[in-house]
Amino acid sequence: MATDILGGIDLGIFNATPGIDPGTYGEATGKEGYQFGDPDSSSVSASNIFGWTWLGNWIEHSGDAPLSARTFIAKWVQKFNDEVVLGTGDVQYAEEAFIQDFLADLAKQTWWANRTAAWQAVQKLRYGVDVPRGEYDALVDSTTQYVVDYAKALGFRDVSKHSIDPDFVEDLISNASKVGGNGLPVMDENLADGLIDEHYLPERQLGEEFIEGTLDVGPGSLKDLYDKFKFAAQQNYVSVSDEELWDLVTRVKREDMNWQSAYDVISRKVGDQYGFLNGSAILDRINDFSYNESTSSFGGSSLRNYLEPLRATLADVWELDSSEVRLQDTFGPQLDSLTVGEGDDERFMNSREMRAWARTQPQFQQTSAYSQGMSNIMSSMLQMFGVR
């Protein structure tokens, strides 16, 4: 079927890449009849090695395939079904004419030129006769070490060369290479990093009862991401479970979700938890997300910033430094005791109400202002009763 021809691994109607004789490599090596991907095959055919196998493999397995490539393949699959197989399209193609039009369109695609050149470079290094076999082995070894180093940088422990799946390394070389200045394949680190992320971080979904659990990782880029999301939650006094935070970390790292969407998950909880803020200017500012790539930090307002005057008032009454006052310690994790009013009138205290409330608490009795005030009252009472 057309899907198998264009979208799958087997691009059967396009056996040989233009400009490469399918028999050339076989004649040079005596390896005829090899089927790519068959470990039991005893020979190699240039039509498979240097042909179209990579395209279906790339589209099907590589997350780096751009939307333009996927759209291109889908368009030609549809055309093949309509105009060759079913004959229902505006143009009825003979198969050979269809292939020529496909090739002409393909040649215009920038991603095609780049990817097919990289694929051919890898296969020539692996199977060709112009480069010693040891060169490909060295590429496998260096790629394996790259995976080890990257996995450790993510925060995964006990990673070594012996623990890396050789098949994953082969796939990484095939799908994350570009052509170097010497015509040999070199790693495209951006592509490689994305594929390693996908390999070590299985897909996770939000709202799945958090059955995935937390990630067991040490210091590294994953924990750094976790800390940033946790900090964003803390700055807005909202409760986000560890499982939810790791969901966000995994999805952002795998590029299944962007920073904007991840922050939105957290910021929406502000409106859910403090419903009386809906429609307020502060919630609008909190939801107005900005992310600074140079500092890897969230910008904009937070509920903590909004409530800072209340924290300063509390610290002033209790004669403490602002850093010693944690609103959640005083008013509960959900800041329940910080609110006044009910129903449509519910809101956070204002500074005047905060000052009055703080003076009724035991902490105020430990301040010099309270002691001085009590001393003045006692003196006035003693004077009133004639005691000097």
Distance CA 386, CA 388 (A): 6
Q: φ and ψ at 282, to 5 degrees?
A: -65, -40
Measured from the Cβ of residue 323, the count of other Cβ atoms closer than 10 Å reads 8
Distance CA 25, CA 124 (A): 10
User: 3-class secondary structure for 40-66?
Assistant: CCCCCCHHHHCCCHHHHHHHHHCCCCC
Q: Which of 268, 263, 270, 231 shows the shortest CA–CA distance to 248?
A: 263
pLDDT greater than 90 at residue 60: no
Confidence of residue 384 (pLDDT cuts 50, 70, 90): low
Side chain identity at 149, as an amino acid letter?
Answer: D
Which residues, 6 or more positions from 381, have their beta carbon under 8 angstroms from its beta carbon? none
Strand spans (E) along the chain: 177-179, 185-187, 290-292, 297-299, 339-340, 347-348
pLDDT greater than 90 at residue 162: yes
Measured from the Cβ of residue 169, the count of other Cβ atoms closer than 10 Å reads 20
Confidence of residue 25 (pLDDT cuts 50, 70, 90): very low
Side chain identity at 288, as an amino acid letter?
Answer: D
Give whichever of 108-112, 157-161, 254-258 has the largest mean pLDDT. Answer: 157-161
pLDDT greater than 70 at residue 7: no
> 329-336: long-range contacts at Cβ-Cβ below 8 A with a sequence spacing of 24 or more?
333/237, 333/239, 334/237, 334/239, 334/273, 335/237, 335/274
pLDDT tens readout for residues 140-154: 999 999 999 999 999
> Per-residue pLDDT averaged across 282-296, rounded?
76
Instruction: Return the structure tokens found at 388.
Output: 């000097």
pLDDT tens readout for residues 307-344: 999 999 988 888 888 888 889 888 888 898 899 898 88
Mean pLDDT of the chain, nearest integer? 76
DSSP 291: E
Q: In sequence order, what DSSP letters do the residues of 18-33 get, joined into one string?
A: TTS-TTHHHHHHT--S
Q: In sequence order, what DSSP letters do the residues of 92-127 get, joined into one string?
A: ---HHHHHHHHHHHHTT-HHHHHHHHHHHHHHHHHH
Q: What percent of the chain stands above pLDDT 70?
A: 71
What is the distance, to the nearest Å, from the Cα of residue 44 to the centroid of all Cα atoms in its chain? 39
> Per-residue pLDDT averaged across 272-295, rounded?
82
pLDDT greater than 70 at residue 267: yes
Distance CA 388, CA 377 (A): 14
Distance CA 330, CA 348 (A): 14
Q: Minimum mean pLDDT among 88-97, 217-226, 275-284: which range? A: 88-97
Q: Is 160 helix (H, G, I), strand (E, B) or coil?
A: coil
pTM exceeding the 0.85 threshold for the entire prediction: no
Entry field: residues in the chain? 388
> Per-residue pLDDT averaged across 22-40, rounded?
34
Confidence of residue 163 (pLDDT cuts 50, 70, 90): very high
> Per-residue pLDDT averaged across 61-66, rounded?
54
